[in-house]
Amino acid sequence: MLNANEGPLDRALRISGGVILLWLGLFSGLIAAPTTLVATGLGVVLFGTGLVGVCPLYNVLGFTTVSR
């Protein structure tokens, strides 16, 4: 089991950003077709890591935003 490495503000920003990117990618029609795939993919990653509280890249880099 991985330890949480995202603090509350980090998680809130990731979830919010993920929701915005998912909306832009899936429903807005404001951005071009190839960009919708990037926005949707990044939105899924941000939303998922925000919900779980673990960022794999943070683990690789040894970084955390959790106050100890």
Q: What is the reported pTM?
A: 0.88
* pLDDT tens-place string over residues 7-22: 999 999 999 999 999 9
Between CA 28 and CA 68 the distance in angstroms is: 40
| DSSP states of 14-51 | HHHHHHHHHHIIIII--S-HHHHHHHHHHHHHHHHHHH
Contact in structure between 58 and 50 (CB atoms under 8 Å): no
* pLDDT tens-place string over residues 26-58: 888 777 788 899 999 999 999 999 999 999 999
